[in-house]
Amino acid sequence: MESPAKVFAEINGVRQGMFVQCADPNRPVLLCLHGGMPEFFLTERYPTGLENDFTVVWWEQRGTGLSFSPDIPAGTRTSEQFIADTLELTRYLRARFGKEKIYLMAHSGGTFFGLQAAARAPELYRAYIGVAQIVRQLESERRAREYMLGQFKRRGDSRMVRRLAAAPVTASAGTPRAYLAVRDRAMHRLGVGTTRDMRSVLSGLFWPSLTCSAYTPAEKVRLWRGKLATGVSALWDEMLAADLAERVPELSLPAYFFHGIYDYTVSYQLAREYVTKLTAPLKGFYTFSDSAHSPIFEEPHKACRILREDVLAGTNDLADDRR
């Protein structure tokens, strides 16, 4: 297999970068939308195998990673802009690879605008795959806090209990800074964060990003400059306020949803409830019983089997509740 290609294209007036990874460039194209930060660097520690069945495009969205620039106006980081960028990049990839349609896979925060992009232009995609699908994120955060508070009480961790108790998540206050300051650390301690085995952002994300051979030293700096620049943004506030079940009650293309049962970054239960009610020509919800927030990285063999036997075949035979 060839090394991933680093590709840049102007998307809606902004130079944006992506890694293209494939064993055979004639395979179907899979566009991957990341969440809070680019994820390609994780493939060195957690190989996905996606490139065996797809031409995988790991896009780094405007303002992040390869696409970071301090000149990009902060005001353009909105869901409408990300939806527009997704659709424009899709058209670019269709032309570049000579495909009538491609597959769209979104993870975590990427599902917020990925789902809306698929709903808006279903003619561009063969299927939508939502990994840790956001639905009602404020309610997800409220449930996560309650769960973590209970777990740390049972463990007798008085310091974490104090910090979480002092930072309630409410409809009026949203996610206060005190909650966000402890959220990731608490989730990783309990194994309900990025992955089941990831215990901190430092060891699980920061160090692997620094050792990833695909990035130049300058690009590694931009990766984290982009992460720090996004922080708690207007897009986060929009995610908290939205109910995607109301925005996207139906889809006109096949839709597949992968979710780790230990995921408290994005609620497993809320996603499952959404898929049950969603109207689509074909749909499937898949529980990953050994995963938290990143089943593509945590259970890649299962993910690839579903993608190969259900998604590419246009069936839902492996889904939890076949419909």
What is residue 306's predicted lDDT score, i.e. its pLDDT?
A: 98
Which pLDDT score is estimated for 233? 66
- Report pLDDT for 2: 57
Q: Are 68 and 223 in contact (CB under 8 A)?
A: yes
- Interval 28-64: pLDDT, tens: 999 999 998 999 999 999 999 999 999 999 999 999 9
Question: Residue 71 and residue 155: Cα distance in Å, rounded?
Answer: 47
Which pLDDT score is estimated for 323?
Answer: 53
Q: Tens of pLDDT along 163-175?
A: 999 999 999 889 9
Residue-range domain boundaries for the chain: 5-136+203-311, 139-192
**How much is the pLDDT for 254?**
98
Pick the CATH number of 5-136+203-311 from 3.40.50.1820, 3.40.50.720, 3.40.50.980, 3.40.630.30: 3.40.50.1820
pLDDT of residue 230: 66
Amino acid at 216: T
**Cross-strand partners of 287:** 259
Nearest to 145 by CA among 107, 111, 112, 190: 190
Residues (pLDDT < 50) of the chain are 1, 232
Please enumerate in sequence order all residues whose Cβ is within 8 A of that of 315, keeping only pairs 6 or more positions apart, or say none. 282, 309
Which of 89, 34, 24 is closest to 55 using CA atoms?
A: 24
pTM greater than the 0.75 cutoff: yes
Specify the pLDDT at position 138: 97
Q: Which residues of 126-146 are buried (b: 16+ CB within 10 A; e: fewer)?
A: bbbbbbbbbbbbbbbbbbbbe
Count of other CB atoms within 10 angstroms of residue 94: 15
Rounded-to-integer distance, Cα 232 and Cα 228, Å:
9
